[in-house]
Amino acid sequence: MPLKIYIINKQIMTNPQIEIQLIAVVVAIACAIPGVFLVLRKMALISDAISHSILPGIVIGFFITQDLNSPLLILLAAFTGVITVVLVEMIQKTGLVKEDTAIGLVFPALFSIGVILIAKNANDVHLDVDAVLLGELAFAPFDRLLISGMDMGPQSLWVMGVILLITLGLLFLFFKELKVSTFDTGLSSALGFSPLILHYGLMSVSSVTVVGAFDAVGAILVVALMIAPAATAYLLTSDLKKMLLLSVGFGVFSAIAGYWLAHLLDASISGSMTTVLGIVFLLVYLFAPSKGLLSVLYRQKQQRIEVSLITFLLHLNNHQEENERHVNHLNEHINWQKVRSKSVLELAQKNNMIGIENNIVSLTDKGREFTNLALEYIITNKDEKIEHMKEDFFLFRG
Amino acid sequence: MIDRKLAVSVDDLTVAYNYKPVLWDIDLQIPEGVLMAIVGPNGAGKSTLIKAILGIIKPIAGSIAIYNKPYKKQRKLVAYVPQKGSVDWDFPTTALDVVMMGTYGSLGWIKRPGQKEKKASLEALEKVGMLSFKNRQISQLSGGQQQRVFLARALVQDASIYFMDEPFQGVDATTEIAIINILKELRKAGKTVIVVHHDLQTVPEYFDWVTFLNVKKIATGPVKDIFNDDNLTKTYGINYKVAVNK
Ligand SMILES: Nc1ncnc2c1ncn2[C@@H]1O[C@H](COP(=O)(O)OP(=O)(O)O)[C@@H](O)[C@H]1O
Ligand SMILES: [Mg+2]
């Protein structure tokens, strides 16, 4: 039996390609979850700050443990991350500077302490700043976890696996508390869910994740994996659970696609993954069904036409005199600057709302009914009235 | 009236932001069963007073009791509707989900809402006339509808004391009437309702109790006794004339 497992290990787990992708996927999921809450709390910048300011924690931890993957080092470094948050908040509380300025003050200071520590001890430490910032996923499988001589797979896979399990457990237990404290701090506090505890809980998880992942993928990819999937998912859904699932999906997709892109281009794996994350975000930003740029522009254009249409129909409704309803006169009577009168006429005709006889426009029964409903809606704002028209008219949606 | 139980008692309360006091030495007794307005100019500390009572802000001095016990022990007796601007309306959540948050307090940590909480939340939505919007994302609601959802969230808490910070802010007349009717119903059911209110004209019509606040407490008591030009002038600093007696 043990022999068999060993063989399976040998065939599957020692295949560096699969191992690299597995590590990337685990890191992506572990980052996406706290990332969602950071994005919703508008704290994306703080993850960047943490990722840099943990450097002195890592260096000091490394002096003590001599092992980049030791749990003690991870906790020490994560503690530096939490200190960053505390410092930022203390500076902010003085009221002298805004949050982004406070972040800008704290993290370069801590980061440079880390750099100096490395430089001063360059001889004893095999750590360099480039490796910390950019990371190199390709080397991750070289660090093996050996238990009594047996190869258990890459060390960083185990480290990140444990971090991911803890994150999932905490998310499962405290989902409702995280949700309410992110949406409404005041209510959360009044209900007895201390926003402070939840805030520092989230900061601790984020710090531990960043520290655990930096060795495998580098600080820049960690930040990208935390923020980009969440920001992308935010554009696609109005449900927190779906946002979490989508973020995880985007993270995993970008990790795998990025890996193969790197393979194809013979480029840096972390760099390719970051690129894919950026491309996915851009595509969603442009094409998302309701919050995407194109659909927003389309909706605005459509609404302009619809406003003109209703103005036009109201005008017809209000005027029995034929000279007011002559096609050539309509241009003067209604403000058409934004929309060509032709497209409005066409839209009204296509919907059977008007009839044109001898260049005199009149409302059909359907047109009259629609105009009255629209008028009533504009006055009362009662949504029930126009529920059935929502599908056809942007104006009446939300 | 004299023997009424005290719902809320505030003693010598001082609250500061960055060591700058915004509420000075407030004493305030709120009897059970009143529908009370807190009035005062912008920045008077009305929201801060409510937040201090609910333990959201730590005061630098003074004590607060809800039915003679500290707030921490009485959480389940209290419902809170924060000022509308204090939450992120673009948050990915629906009207029903926001109302369900009102049930979280009675659930405590970790436990999740189930069918019972969902049913109560749907009933609360129905009560404020928002049932047909239950799945609407909250940013897609009008200002009045958002306020109704907030009210439903407070109703679902099934509390004894309700704190509402400017529930009429940015709502139309229909919604205002709907909300005040629900508040009056709560009072009829023996609840205590405390509302930060801005429209002085409607104070006598809506409320039976009033507190004038401007950094210090100016006056508190029955509307018919103390809602007068004298107190208004003391609170707002200018000579205020309102039609107190309709
Ligand atoms: N978080 C805060 N930090 C610093 N000052 C604050 C904060 N919140 C409110 N203030 C200040 O406290 C005072 C009272 O505010 P608030 O209670 O919101 O007044 P009101 O609700 O009566 O308009 C104001 O001067 C306001 O600027
Ligand atoms: Mg206020």
pLDDT tens figures, B90-130: 999 999 999 999 999 999 999 999 999 999 999 999 999 99
> Helix (H, G, I), strand (E, B), or coil: what is residue A98?
coil
- State the CB neighbour count (10 A cutoff) for residue A263: 13
Q: Global pTM?
A: 0.87
Pocket flag, ligand 1, residue B42 (CB < 6 Å): yes
The 3-state secondary structure of chain B reads CCCCCEEEEEEEEEEEECCEEEEEEEEEEEECCCEEEEECCCCCCHHHHHHHHCCCCCCCEEEEEECCECHHHHHHHEEEECCHHHCCCCCCCEHHHHHHHHHHHHHCCCCCCCHHHHHHHHHHHHHCCCHHHCCCEHHHCCHHHHHHHHHHHHHHCCCCEEEEECCCCCCCHHHHHHHHHHHHHHHHCCCEEEEECCCHHHHHHHCCEEEEEECEEEEEEEHHHHCCHHHHHHHHCCCCCCCCCC
- Any chain A CB within 8 A of the CB of B137? yes
- Which residue of chain A is at minimal alpha-carbon distance from B101? A180
Q: Which two tokens stand for residue A85?
A: 């948050």
pLDDT at position A388, please? 59
Cβ–ligand 1 distance for B146 under 6 Å, the answer no
Q: Which of B17, B196, B217, B235 to mutate to test the pocket of ligand 1 (most atoms within 8 A of CB)?
A: B17
Sign of CA dihedral A86, A92, A96, A98: positive
Window 281-320 of A: residues touching B by CB (8 A cutoff) are: none
Q: What is the pLDDT of residue A6?
A: 44
Q: B227 and B196 in contact (C-beta within 8 Å)?
A: no
- For ligand 1, the distance from its centroid to the CA atom of residue A331, given in whole angstroms, is 53
| C-alpha of residue B226 to centroid of ligand 1, in Å | 26
Which amino acid is it at A15?
N
Task: Determine whether the shortest distance from the Cβ of B86 to ligand 1 is under 6 A.
Answer: no
**B239: pLDDT strictly greater than 70:** no
Name the nearest CA neighbour of B196 among B233, B234, B160, B169: B169
Q: CB–CB of B132 and A383 under 8 A?
A: yes
Q: Round to whole Å and give the CA distance between B232 and B213.
A: 10
Nearest residue to A274 (alpha-carbon basis) of A220, A314, A323, A216:
A220
Tell me what pLDDT residue A45 has.
Answer: 87
Instruction: Report chain B's C-alpha Rg in angstroms.
Output: 18
pLDDT at A10: 47
Residue A37, chain B, CB below 8 Å: the answer is: no
A240 has a chain B CB within 8 A of its CB? yes
Residue that wins the pLDDT comparison between B162 and A92: B162
Q: What is the tens place of the pLDDT at every residue in B39-81?
A: 999 999 999 999 999 999 999 999 999 999 999 999 999 999 9
Q: How far apart are CA B194 and CA B220, in angstroms?
A: 12
Task: Look at A193 and B55 and tell me if their CB atoms are within 8 Å.
Answer: no
Q: Is B70 on the interface with A (CB under 8 A)?
A: no
Q: State which amino acid sits at residue A264.
A: L
Q: What is the ipTM of this complex?
A: 0.92
What's the Cα-to-Cα distance from A319 to each of A313, A361, A362, rounded to whole Å?
A: 10, 11, 10
Cβ distance B98 to A183 less than 8 Å, yes or no, reads: yes
The angle formed by the CA atoms of residues A254, A260 and A264, to the nearest 5 degrees, is: 135
B-chain residue closest to A379, CA distance: B172
- Of the candidates A324, A319, A313, A330, which has an alpha carbon nearest to the alpha carbon of residue A378? A313
- Report CA A302 to chain centroid distance, whole Å: 28
Task: For chain A, list the domains and their CATH numbers.
Answer: 15-291 (1.10.3470.10), 294-393 (1.10.10)
Q: Which chain A residue's Cα is nearest to B17? A: A93
**Which residues of chain A neighbour B95 with C-beta distances below 8 Å?**
none
Cα separation, A62 vs A69, in Å, equals 9
C-alpha–C-alpha distance, residues A388 and B110, integer Å:
41
A176·B137 Cβ contact <8 A = no
Q: Is the pLDDT assigned to residue B143 strictly greater than 90?
A: no
Backbone Cα Rg of chain A: 29
- Chain center to CA of B44: 16
Query: If you measure CA to CA, which chain B residue comes closest to A387?
Result: B132
The residue behind tokens 């996923």 is: A137
Burial group, residue A325, by CB count within 10 angstroms (0-12, 13-18, 19+): buried
C-beta of B51 in contact with ligand 1 (< 6 A): no
Nearest to A228 by CA among A28, A369, A7: A28
For residue B46, give the nearest of B22, B10, B71, B78 by alpha carbon: B22
Task: Please work out whether the CB of residue B17 comes within 6 Å of at least one atom of ligand 1.
Answer: yes
Whether B162 contacts B190, CB under 8 Å: no
Q: What are residue B65's DSSP bridge partners?
A: B9
Q: Using one digit for the tens of pLDDT, what is the confidence trace for B201-230? A: 999 999 999 999 999 999 999 999 999 988
The pLDDT assigned to A316 comes to 80
Q: What is the pLDDT of residue B241?
A: 61
- What is the C-alpha to C-alpha distance for residues B30 and B10, in angstroms, rounded to an integer? 9
pLDDT in tens, chain A (398 residues): 344 444 444 444 458 889 999 999 999 999 999 999 999 999 988 888 888 888 888 888 888 887 777 788 888 888 988 998 899 888 888 878 888 888 888 888 888 888 888 877 766 656 666 666 666 787 778 778 888 888 888 888 999 999 999 999 999 999 999 999 999 999 999 999 999 999 999 999 999 999 888 878 888 899 999 999 999 999 999 899 999 999 999 999 999 999 999 999 998 898 899 999 999 999 999 999 888 999 989 888 887 777 778 878 888 888 777 777 777 776 666 556 545 667 777 778 887 888 888 878 888 888 888 888 777 777 766 555 555 565 566 555 54
Exposure of A286 in the CB half-sphere (CA atoms within 13 A): 5
Q: What is the pLDDT of residues B18-37, one digit of tens each?
A: 878 899 999 999 999 999 99
* Paired residues of A363 in beta bridges: A354
Residue A336, C-beta contacts closer than 8 angstroms, at least 6 positions apart = A308, A344
Q: Which structure tokens are listed for A191?
A: 């209900």
What's chain A's length in residues?
398
> Given this model, what pLDDT does residue A387 score?
56
**Would strands A144-147 and A150-154 be described as parallel, antiparallel, or unpaired?**
antiparallel
Contact A163, A206 (CB under 8 A): no
- Sequence-ordered list of residues with C-beta below 8 angstroms from that of A223, at least 6 positions apart, any chain: A47, A48, A51, A210
Helix (H, G, I), strand (E, B) or coil at A11: helix
Which of A189, A163, A188, A190 shows the shortest CA–CA distance to A176? Answer: A188
Q: Where is pLDDT greater, at B175 or A135?
A: B175
In the block, tokens 């210090």 appear at: B216
